């Protein structure tokens, strides 16, 4: 899929030297990706939402970080419980989850 309606980037602290090590990773961000994928499948949003893992966004103290384009919305301190809200309210409903925004 090229040009999804929403492109969700989740920091998993992967570095270009091949190691995966850092704050977002240590706070369970790989599990966030699994949760996003489950929610997206459950809500039948697979055709319009893409999930991509990333390296560091540079604001580790607010991690785990999730960035959604094309709006360019940055979410911080994201937990597995927050994922369902982001998918339901933002990706399905089109409304940014303001209290999770940084």
CA 35 to CA 39: how far, in whole Å? 6
> Phi and psi of 26, rounded to 5°?
-70, -20
Residue 58 or 81 with smaller CB distance to a copy of itself: 58
Interface residue with a copy of itself among 26, 38, 93, 102 (CB under 8 A) is 102
Contact 3, 45 (CB under 8 A): no
Q: Check binding of 99 to a copy of itself (CB under 8 A).
A: no
Q: Is 48 in the site for a copy of itself (CB under 8 A)?
A: no
**Binds a copy of itself (CB under 8 A): choice among 44, 61, 72, 98:** 72
Whole-number Å distance between alpha carbons of 46 and 27:
26
CB atoms near residue 34 (< 10 Å)? 13
Binding site for a copy of itself (CB under 8 A): 1-3, 7, 9, 12, 14-16, 18-20, 30, 33, 50, 52-59, 67, 69-72, 74, 102
């Amino acid at each position: 899929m090229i040009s999804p309606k929403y492109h969700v980037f989740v920091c998993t602290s992967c570095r270009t030297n091949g190691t995966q090590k850092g704050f977002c990773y240590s706070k369970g961000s790989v599990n966030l990706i699994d949760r996003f994928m489950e929610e997206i499948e459950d809500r039948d949003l697979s055709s319009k939402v893409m999930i991509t893992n990333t390296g560091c966004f540079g604001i580790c103290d607010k991690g785990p970080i999730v960035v959604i384009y094309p709006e360019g919305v940055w979410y911080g301190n994201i937990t597995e419980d927050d994922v369902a809200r982001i998918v339901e309210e933002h990706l399905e409903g089109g409304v940014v989850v303001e209290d999770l925004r940084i």
